[in-house]
Amino acid sequence: DVQLLESGGGLVQPGGSLRLSCVPSGITFRNYAFSWIRQAPGKGLEWLSAISGSGGNTYYADSVRGRFTVSRDNSKNRLYLQMNNLRAEDTAVYFCAKDNMVASYWGQGTLVTVSS
Amino acid sequence: DILMTQSPSTLSASVGDRVTITCRASQRISNWLAWYQQKPGKAPKLLIYKTSTLESGVPSRFSGSGSGTEFTLTINSLQPDDFATYYCQQYENYPCTFGPGTKLEMK
């Protein structure tokens, strides 16, 4: 069974930073691209970023380009989302998902709250 | 960026009904469209990709169609488990954008 487990969410002040992690299981990690998608409270889904299996190709939504960085460590089977200069509007549940475009499997999400 | 719209935003229906949700793209996306189902407090679940290909394990009462800029998700014979919010997503190019969602509620 494919499972993805996110961690690293929490409360952070505006302008602060946070790093999310995602650990997939049940798959050969390095063979797959992954995405990050978020959902603000009571709102719809927003695709944020994707990374290729090698990590050599990354993609971002305009709303986070320059502030967020996706990366992966294939030796540790971990996916990351480094989030800098956080704003109140970044408050959301952040999901990691298998595959870079069609999200075939999703984690349960981790909540990020940006507030003073 | 490609803008996705969905209609209706809310749909009231009863068990056994046939319902259709429409998704429109601001530019042609060929058949690079997916549909997801989300229940409150849960992660979305992939239902359909490439417009009409059912993800493994998804009941056959779900179907998708369309091309270009207009797409539909149809659910035949609604079941109690189908009441949820449905999102379309284009993946013609990055960024992959989602529609705003259609909440399917019980009449």
- pLDDT 10s digits, B57-74: 999 999 999 999 999 999
CB A81 within 8 A of CB A87: no
- What percent of chain A is predicted at pLDDT more than 90? 97
Closest CA to B105 of B83, B88, B74, B82: B83
- Give which of B56, B96, B97 to mutate to test A binding, by max A Cβ within 10 Å: B96
Can you tell me the distance from the alpha carbon of A98 to that of B45, in angstroms, rounded to the nearest whole number?
12
CB B96 within 8 A of CB B1: no
When CB atoms are compared, the residue of B36, B91, B98 closest to A46 is: B98
- pLDDT (tens digit per residue) in A30-47: 999 999 999 999 999 999
Cβ contacts of residue B57 below 8 Å, gap of 6+?
Answer: none
CA distance B29 to chain A (A): 13
A10 — pLDDT class (breaks 50, 70, 90)? very high
* Neighbour order of strands in the sheet with B4-7: B4-7, B19-25, B70-75, B62-67
Cα–Cα separations (whole angstroms), residue A68 to A17, A81, A103, B40: 9, 7, 20, 27
Contacts 24+ apart (CB under 8 A), B55-63: B55/A104, B62/B35
- pLDDT (tens digit per residue) in B78-99: 999 999 999 999 999 999 999 9
Query: What is the average pLDDT value for chain A, to the nearest integer?
Result: 97
Total residue length of chain A: 116
B101 to chain A: which residues are within 8 Å by CB? 44-45
Chain centre to alpha carbon of residue A31 = 18
- What percent of chain B is predicted at pLDDT more than 90? 100
When CB atoms are compared, the residue of A61, A105, A106 closest to B95 is: A61
- Asked if the Cβ–Cβ distance from B101 to A101 is below 8 Å, we say no
**pLDDT on residue A57:** 96
Q: Is B47 on the interface with A (CB under 8 A)?
A: no
User: A14-18, A69-73, B16-20, B92-96: which range is least confident on average?
Assistant: B92-96
CA distance B82 to chain A (A): 18
When pLDDT is averaged across residues A83-99 and rounded to a whole number, the result is 97
